[in-house]
């Protein structure tokens, strides 16, 4: 049985997460601030942490930094939409992913399962990057040797064009590719008049790898420039 620590000073959020997680067979531990979270981790075998950002005494960002001195278990930040700078800071100091409030319980469970699977089967935080043909970003994993894709641990079926677009983007996170560059590298042809073709395939790809294709988390448009894979 996996042990999950829920750290949030909002009792209603803790209660809701507790219901979702225990219904899936997880055992939960609770903390109301970062100091309590540190104490729980020191005294219990914790496999994953859900960490709120805004808390009294010791906030989620500083708690994450201190937790990384104790453990390498997955840490998922719970953030408000307005806390973009905190998301980036949290990821830079050791958080594995973030979930934006108000959250969808299906998304929470998917992220939890994905992080636990990656942590236990790939040997922790550095495992996926040790293979040169395995690319992971957030919940997306592309195994180029097996030509397979999983999203939050679930297999996804892509066409060859969709696969090659995803592979190009995930191999170069945060790099912006113009539609012309994408077309030339994926289709291996001159890009004249390629904008609509690329846009259609990007839309289909988003429908398969994004939880909310209308508000993509991974494959972002950079207006007037092209597309990029947001790094997580």
Domain residue ranges in the chain: 3-121, 131-229
Cα distances from 83 to residues 89, 98, 185, 193, 210, in angstroms, run 10, 11, 36, 39, 21
What is the DSSP code string of 139-178?
TEEEETTTTEEEETTEEE---HHHHHHHHHHHHSTT--B-
pLDDT score recorded for residue 126: 40
Q: Which fold has domain 3-121?
A: Rossmann fold (3.40.50)
The Cα–Cα gap between 229 and 215 comes to 14
CA nearest to 78, candidates 108, 118, 43, 41: 108
For the stretch 178-208, pLDDT in tens is 999 999 998 877 777 667 889 999 999 999 9
CA nearest to 74, candidates 54, 98, 96, 100: 96
- Radius of gyration from C-alpha coordinates of the chain: 19
The Cα–Cα gap between 67 and 38 comes to 7
The Cα–Cα gap between 147 and 56 comes to 46
> What count of other Cβ atoms lies within 10 Å of the Cβ of residue 2?
18
Mean pLDDT by 10 residues, the chain (232 residues): 94 94 94 96 93 92 91 88 74 84 88 82 47 83 89 88 94 93 86 80 94 93 93 86
Cα distances from 92 to residues 23, 77, 96, 129, in angstroms, run 32, 12, 9, 17
pLDDT score recorded for residue 37: 96
131-229 has CATH 1.10.10.10 classification: yes
| Contact indicator for 116, 47 with CB cutoff of 8 Å | yes
Sheet architecture: strand order including 148-151 = 134-137, 140-143, 148-151, 154-156
């Amino acid at each position: 049985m996996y042990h999950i620590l829920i750290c949030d000073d909002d009792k209603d959020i803790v209660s809701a997460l507790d219901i979702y997680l225990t219904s899936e067979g997880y055992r939960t531990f609770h903390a109301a601030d970062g100091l309590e979270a540190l104490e729980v981790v020191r005294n219990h075998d914790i496999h994953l942490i859900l960490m709120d950002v805004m808390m009294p005494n010791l906030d989620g960002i500083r708690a994450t930094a201190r937790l990384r001195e104790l453990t390498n278990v997955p840490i998922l930040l719970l953030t408000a939409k307005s806390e973009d700078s905190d998301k980036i800071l949290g990821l830079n100091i050791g958080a594995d992913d973030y979930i934006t409030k108000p959250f969808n319980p299906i998304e929470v469970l998917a992220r939890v399962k994905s992080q636990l699977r990656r942590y236990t089967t790939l040997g922790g935080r550095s495992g996926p990057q040790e293979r040169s043909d395995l690319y992971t970003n957030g919940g997306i994993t592309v195994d180029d040797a097996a030509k397979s894709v999983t999203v939050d641990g679930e297999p996804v079926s892509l066409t060859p064009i969709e696969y090659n677009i995803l592979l190009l983007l995930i191999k170069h996170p945060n790099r912006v590719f113009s539609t012309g560059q994408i077309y030339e590298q994926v289709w291996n042809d001159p890009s004249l008049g390629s904008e609509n073709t690329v846009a259609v395939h990007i839309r289909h790809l988003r429908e398969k790898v994004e939880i909310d294709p209308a508000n993509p988390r991974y494959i972002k448009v950079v207006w007037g420039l092209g597309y990029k894979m947001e790094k997580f």
